[in-house]
Structure 1
């Protein structure tokens, strides 16, 4: 049996569920596969939030229309949670607690996530929240990794999903311990979009740190960044920073995955 066969068997056995879709490859592929299985009852939930980029919400809405999903958009309420806003090392626990709690309040179906087997080997506080809410992880039950998810998306000709780069929520760009502010997430999203439009880069991250705002690019893009382009980007971004009252120095740096996450904060 292929990974897709096993996944379909897992979903068919469930018979239905409430799939939390973020707009990323994992949850979107899961929802698409589930939506194609006859005699099942799946509905999709998408949380509207300052931490979710507008293009991710647009992608969810486009797929819902294209695939005929029963999509429900919700406000999970994490920005009303002081624990989430404080941005501790386990911020994701509070995010997912609010998400799964809100989904569960809207349906009596089992909540399903796009967690894959690769996620189990990483530090994922959100998995603790999933455990608290009895969330089901079909990819994990089927033994499917991130590469397996992408392979399924390609097999189903979902090329727009298969090639999506990793896209953690916008709050992940804010250094651990700095309060999460919605206007700063809007700023981060706008900066990343602007930079991506003006240079050729696979990955662009705008990080807000305690002592700086850092624009991180992969090695090739950083090395190819011409001085004139860098100066132009600096002028535009610094003007955006002034508009949002962000008074920090700006730098261009090499991309490091999760570099705003300070795990040491757990030890103080």
Structure 2
């Protein structure tokens, strides 16, 4: 190994962590972090578990299935049951705790293996209630243990030939588009997925965009300088009208804008 190659060094650290942890059950969401972890953990006998849910974009589920077939992963699909949890549906500030608690409890009912998440080093600097649920259930985070951040995850994906993952924008669950305090509703999440899919068809998959359900109505977040901005806004507005929702306009993309944390 070239000691001056940081990507090779990161891969070696991750391999050592995976060797130490033994065969894992990886919670695979379809995002770049968990998918890249799954790619490397597969070499160490990992099995993958993907939760089907109204909160998971259909494109993410299709991505997991496609890679599982192509790469020969052992994949189990399940339903975590968060939509039967009133604490989750109420969409409190710590909604993610209840989501992850349901997910990890469900995976634990399917396997005796240690459960692993795709959390990376950068996630430790954010308010992440899901990490508390993970800690309570002794879920491990191999990327964190290997000191791998988001940028290195993308570099590892690119080096491994997973170019589609390396360029994939961050894709948190669809419930993250619903402003804190507005109840989570499966129909709303399906609408959000439709809008974002339509917009990405115009902007391209690499452009950061969000359809938000806010207390004022539906908001499309997109860079105002994007050349497709007008067409994307028109498409989102049309889908909003078609479903009888209130349109509240556009604004620049802002990470976590639906999250209202009162201090």
SS of residue paired to 2:39: helix
SS of residue paired to 1:206: strand
Deviation at 1:150, TM superposition (A): 0.9
Aligned counterparts of 2:31 and 2:192: Cα–Cα separation in 1: 18
Residue ranges of structure 1 left out of the alignment (5+ in a row): none
SS of residue paired to 2:181: coil
Aligned counterparts of 1:154 and 1:66: Cα–Cα separation in 2: 17
- In the alignment, is residue 28 of structure 1 matched against residue 35 of structure 2? yes
Number of residues paired by the alignment? 255
Selected match of 1:206 from 200, 203, 211: 211
Aligned to 1:130: 134
Aligned counterparts of 2:51 and 2:85: Cα–Cα separation in 1: 15
Aligned counterparts of 2:163 and 2:247: Cα–Cα separation in 1: 39
Q: Indicate how the Cα distance of structure 1 residues 234 and 60 shifts in structure 2: closer, same or farther if over 3 A, else same.
A: closer
Aligned to 1:58: 62
Q: Indicate how the Cα distance of structure 1 residues 230 and 44 shifts in structure 2: closer, same or farther if over 3 A, else same.
A: closer
Deviation at 1:195, TM superposition (A): 1.9
Aligned counterparts of 1:93 and 1:220: Cα–Cα separation in 2: 36
Residue ranges of structure 2 left out of the alignment (5+ in a row): 4-8
Deviation at 1:35, TM superposition (A): 1.0
Q: Give the alignment's TM-score, normalised by structure 2.
A: 0.92
Aligned counterparts of 2:94 and 2:233: Cα–Cα separation in 1: 37
- C-alpha root-mean-square deviation of aligned residues, in Å? 1.6
Aligned to 2:220: 215
SS of residue paired to 2:46: strand
Q: Give the alignment's TM-score, normalised by structure 1.
A: 0.91
Aligned to 1:250: 248
Decide whether the 8 Å contact of 2:222 with 2:253 is kept in 1. yes
Aligned counterparts of 1:230 and 1:59: Cα–Cα separation in 2: 24
Aligned counterparts of 2:55 and 2:132: Cα–Cα separation in 1: 20
Selected match of 2:92 from 88, 94, 98: 88
- In the alignment, is residue 98 of structure 1 matched against residue 102 of structure 2? yes
Deviation at 1:134, TM superposition (A): 0.3
Q: Deviations over 1:31-73 (max 9, x none)?
A: 1101123xxx311000000000000000000111111111000
Q: Indicate how the Cα distance of structure 1 residues 121 and 230 shifts in structure 2: closer, same or farther if over 3 A, else same.
A: closer
Aligned counterparts of 2:88 and 2:39: Cα–Cα separation in 1: 30
